[in-house]
Amino acid sequence: MATIYEVSALAGVSLSSVSRVMNNHEHVSEKTKVKVKAAMETLGYRPNAVARSLASNRSDCVGILVSQLHGPFFGDILTGIEEELRAAGKHSIIAAGHSDKTIEKESIDFLISRNCDALILLVDAVCDEYLIELNKGKTPFVIINRRVDGLEDRCLYLDNHLGGYLATKHLIEQGHRNIGYISGPLSIEDAKARLEGHKEALSEFDIAFEKERCYEGDYLTQSGQDGANQLLNDGRQYSAIACANDEMAAGAMKGIRDHNIEIPSGCSIVGFDNVYFAEYLYPKLSTIDYPRIEMAKMSAQWILKNVYKKKSITINNIFSPTLVPRDSIRSL
């Protein structure tokens, strides 16, 4: 590993000149530029980002913390952010929080200790107070999919309540009244909000919410299947089931079919998120679109604007879900 020393020696200039060339400083003569670049070339010199970061207190890296590294939701978020940052010449350092308070904190410490210029956080285990405290530190951050009082300007989130409302309202408008609900983990805010939206729609049409018609899942396919099984075995009538995400909807579809019930003729279903495979399910899944890629890109732009002082973009903090009707809902 050649260092800046060897380059400076070979080029016959000082360390500072080499550094200047590396960093495209102005006020460097064409002559030294050429000499330095030639020396770098012949030595196969690669700048040491760690030393650079230590000396300059910058890193051109933004840390990204998501709950999981897999799944259609987080995958899209990661890709959206990474592409936006890459286009701006910034690097991404990605970590996983596993929806665990301790791991989320450790991961944030890790990203900060690696000198990230900023963070993009998609965390659901740490409390608001922690984030408010974090905001007093020197590393700026933006939060996705969560609204923290006092940090509104750095929060980008979906109106989950509205999404839950839209899904159930649509079912009701198609004539459904016996509606089951498979929720996400109710310890998580977004899952709670979606359920609240569901309840609001029911109430608007004078349908009583019965907690027996609600199954608490964990956002994974298996729990969707389990939820469908439990609901369909509970003796109640169901003409439709709303799910708090598409993965559970896929699981529920399997569960429904295992009961020899056809979709949507025997039971309708609606999902949430509009992940890429939703339209490849059969029947094509009606769902609620979550503009996560747009949000992901917006989070990156927030950083570019506020941290890297790039050309100003208008930041939008709250995003709206929209209904995507497909073939999984029968009109009664």
Token pair recorded at residue 99: 């929806």
Identify whether the C-beta of residue 275 lies closer than 8 Å to the C-beta of residue 247.
yes
The residues that bridge with 156 in the sheet, in sequence order, are 144
Query: Restricting to residues 219-238, which ones interact with a second copy according to CB under 8 A?
Result: 221
Q: Which residues contact 199 (CB under 8 A, 6 or more apart)?
A: 209
**Shortest reach from residue 51's CB to a second copy, in Å:** 5
What is the contact surface with DNA in residues (CB under 7 A)? 1, 3-5, 12-17, 19-20, 22-23, 26-29, 31-32, 45-48, 51-52, 54-58
Say whether residue 332 binds a second copy (CB under 8 A).
no
Residue ranges with strand state E in the chain:
61-66, 91-96, 118-121, 141-144, 155-158, 179-183, 214-216, 240-243, 268-270, 287-289, 318-319, 322-324
Which of a second copy, DNA, none has residue 140 at its interface (CB below 5 to 8 Å by kind)? none
Interface size with a second copy, residues (CB under 8 A): 49
Phi/psi of residue 92, each to 5°?
Answer: -110, 135
Sheet with 268-270: list strands edge to edge.
Answer: 214-216, 179-183, 240-243, 268-270
CA distance 94 to 117: 13
**Shortest reach from residue 323's CB to DNA, in Å:** 50
**Shortest reach from residue 109's CB to a second copy, in Å:** 6
**Shortest reach from residue 52's CB to DNA, in Å:** 4
Say whether residue 208 binds a second copy (CB under 8 A).
no
For the chain, the helix, strand and coil percentages under 3-state DSSP, each to the nearest 5: 45, 15, 40
- CB closer to a second copy out of 133 and 204: 133
Dihedral sign from CA coordinates of 293, 295, 250, 241 = negative
- CB closer to DNA out of 13 and 166: 13
DSSP state for residue 144 in the 8-state scheme: E
DSSP state for residue 158 in the 8-state scheme: E
**Shortest reach from residue 138's CB to DNA, in Å:** 10
Phi/psi of residue 199, each to 5°?
Answer: -60, -40
Query: Restricting to residues 8-47, which ones interact with a second copy according to CB under 8 A?
Result: 46-47
Query: Restricting to residues 50-109, which ones interact with a second copy according to CB under 8 A?
Result: 50-51, 53-54, 59, 68-72, 74-76, 78-79, 82, 86, 91-96, 103, 109
- CB closer to a second copy out of 205 and 282: 282
Query: What's the maximum distance between 2 C-alpha atoms anywhere in the chain?
Result: 86
* From candidates 24, 26, 31, 138, binder to a second copy by CB under 8 A: 138
Say whether residue 253 binds a second copy (CB under 8 A).
yes
User: Which residues lie near a second copy (CB under 8 A)?
Assistant: 1, 46-51, 53-54, 59, 68-72, 74-76, 78-79, 82, 86, 91-96, 103, 109-110, 112-115, 138, 221, 250-251, 253-254, 257, 276-277, 279-282, 284
